[in-house]
Each structure stands twice: as structure tokens, then as C-alpha cells.
Structure 1
Amino acid sequence: MLFRKEFLEGIRAGAVTLAFRRWRRPSVREGGTLLTPVGQLSIRSVEPVTLNQISEEDAHRAGYKSRQALLDELQRRSEGEVYRIVFGQLRPDPRVELREAPVATEAEFEGLRRCLIRLDARAPEGAWTVRTLETVESHPGVRAGDLSGLVGQDKELFKVNVRKLKNLGLTESLGTGYRLSPRAEALLRALRAVRWTQSVGQPDGVPKL
């Protein structure tokens, strides 16, 4: 569920408190949450409605100047039902705090390393996580289309993969491209320390952090 910039600003200000969408199947659920560029939005309710049930007040609460403007947008698509989505509290994006969190213990390092291993194991294209992190590290602020070529991936697959790393607090989206978070920088330092230890014949294990 995506929002245009003007609606995001309304959500941030508390002026936009609901939305309407025409869906074949809802992409959010009652009691769930939705990560947006302005924070984590809780979803209070999701229910099907008819166009006749939408009031002028509903349209204003959804960020539209008039009921007719909202109806015009909903009628651009003919497939699916119309749903009324009521928002709850807007909280800070938990990934922002996570990005700044240090990899302070061996247990945290090992947990992150295992997350990367699982992501690599599930990918048909093979291991990609560390390669992607190192590519972003070397090319901050570079467009996804250019970065995807450097790692040998389709652009859309690359963007999906970067979002997976973002959910772990490892990458941050910029106006153009991405950069590593402090958490990712610490993780890469630790991974490189393990590689160096193994290369000189020292016992395997996690580094002292």
C-alpha cells in the first residue's frame, strides 16, 4: 500500500486518518502495521464499502478536497472491491533506530550473520547479501539500476533484496540510491575480521567486538 507525497505529509501531521483503495484482495489487515516513509502506521480496520457509503467527511479525512475527487480516483479502476482503511497510531520506523544500533556482542554478530546466510540460502541466484552490502558501501548514492548491473541482478530483484537488508537495519534509502547504516558498517568489519582470521590459519569463530 503506497501513498503519494501529499498524503504522507497529511499522515505525518495527523490530518489524514483513513484511506480508500480498490483491491481484489486487501494488502493490509486489521490490527497490522504498515511501514511508510514517515513511520510505522498501525491499521485499525479494513472493511469493504460501496461508493454510496463514502461521505464528504470521509473524503476530507482521506486527504481529498472533495468526495467527487476521491470517487474519480477510485473509478479509474473497475476491478476489485472498494475498501475503507482506518489508521491508528503513527510510530517511528523501527528500522531507523535499528540502523544506529551497534553490533556490540558476539551474539548479535552471530544472529545477523545467520540472517544473511538464510537469505542467501533461499535465493535462486545464490549468495548475494554480502556482495550487495559491499557494492552499496563502495557506491553510496548511486541509482539502483546502475548498482544492479554491478552485482549481476535485475533492477527490480536488486531493489527487493536491498529492502530485505533495510529491514535488518543495514541499508538506508537516499534521494538517489542507498548507503550503509552504522550497523552494516560494523557488521562488515566483523565479517572481514573473520575472513582475515581464517586466511592466516587462526581458529574459526566470531570476532571480539
Structure 2
Amino acid sequence: MIFTAAALEGIEAGAVTLAFRRWEQPRVRAGSSQRTAIGVVAFDAVEPVDAASVTDADAAAAGFASAERLLAFVDRKAHGPVLYRIALRYDGADPRLALRVDDALSDADVANLRRRLDRMDAHGAWTEATLRLIADRPAVVSTELAPVLGMERAPFKQRVRRLKELGLTESLEVGYRLSPRGRALLARLGT
């Protein structure tokens, strides 16, 4: 789900506990969660509702002044005919933040990361080369980094996101850098 900055602020503060969306079918499910700019948002319930049943109290819980304003917003952003009511809550910081600063890698941590990188490399080695490129050229945009590895920008960015999932890289305003965890792993892998 895409949230406005105001909605994310409200979710983090606990003031926004509902969202409404028009979809063909639900795009989130109860019990799932999503990482956002503020951290993790958990979805506790997802149910279809009739627009006529949406109250001003529902709108306030979704961060809107009235049901009319809420429904106008939802209708402008509609991706289907069914209106869904989503109960949500802030579920804490992005776990990758803590992971990427953890640079005290045990032998087991290194072995686990090596196994995961090897799986990523199953159809062609790229993980270590990408990590080393980012280490050598921090804060450089993907449009400059991708060609160094003979890649287009979009697939390169997808690969960097996969490394970010392991806590090895972090995105900057411009470009990327290795996280402390990524630097520690490269040091353990050697040259």
C-alpha cells in the first residue's frame, strides 16, 4: 500500500488506525505487514465495506476530516470497484536498521550470509562484485554504477535491494553505501 506522508505520521503516532482503498481484490491481508518510511505497518483486518457505512469516526481514524473527504480521496486513487476497510497499526522500526549496524559477525553469521549470497549467485555471480563496487564508490547513482557491471539500471537496483534485505547496503539521498554489516562481511570475505 502507498501511504501519504501525513498518513504515515499519523500511523506512527497512533492517531491513524484505519485506511480505505478501492481494489479489484485485497492487496494486503490480515496478519501481514509492510515496511514503510516510518518503519513497519501491520495490517490487522481487511474487509470489504459499503461506502454508505463509512462514518465520520471512520474517516477521523483514517486521518480525514469527514467521510465525504475520505471517500473522495479513495475514489481519486481507486484501483478497482470494491471498497476495503483496513485496520492497521505501527509495528516498530524497520528491522533492517538494527541488522545493518550489527557488524559483530560471528563465524556462523558469515557462513549464513555466504550461503545466502551463494544462492543469489546461483545463475551468475554478482553479489560480491556489487558489494565491492558500492564500497569503492559510495554515494554514486545507480545510473553510473550499473554500467560498470554491464547492467541496466532497473535490474541493478533490484539486486542492491536484495543486498539491503540482508542488511549489507543502505540507500542514501544519492546512491548507496555499505552498511557497517556489509563492510564487516567484506572484510571477512577478504580479497
Deviation at 1:117, TM superposition (A): 0.8
Determine the C-alpha separation between the residues in 1 that align with 2:116 and 2:171. Answer: 20
Q: CA RMSD in A?
A: 2.0
Query: What is the TM-score normalised by the length of structure 1?
Result: 0.81
Deviation at 1:145, TM superposition (A): 3.1
- Structure 1 stretch 92-101 or stretch 55-64: which is displaced more? 55-64
Q: Which residue, out of 129, 132, 151, partners 2:127?
A: 129
2:80 aligns to what?
79
Percent of pairs with identical residues = 45
- Aligned 8 A contact 2:14 2:90 in 1: no
2:21 aligns to what?
21
Question: 1:44-193 residue pairs with structure 2 within 5 A?
Answer: 44-76=44-76, 77=78, 79-121=80-122, 126-192=124-190
Deviation at 1:80, TM superposition (A): 4.3
List per-residue Cα deviations over 1:30-58 (Å, max 9, x = no partner).
11221111112221111112222222222
Deviation at 1:115, TM superposition (A): 0.4
Q: Which runs of 5+ in 2 are unaligned?
A: none
Aligned length: 190
Higher-RCO chain (CA-CA 8 Å, sequence separation at least 6): 2
Deviation at 1:101, TM superposition (A): 1.2
Deviation at 1:150, TM superposition (A): 3.0
Deviation at 1:78, TM superposition (A): 5.6
1:198 aligns to what?
none
- Aligned 8 A contact 2:11 2:90 in 1: no
Query: What is the TM-score normalised by the length of structure 2?
Result: 0.88
Deviation at 1:26, TM superposition (A): 2.4
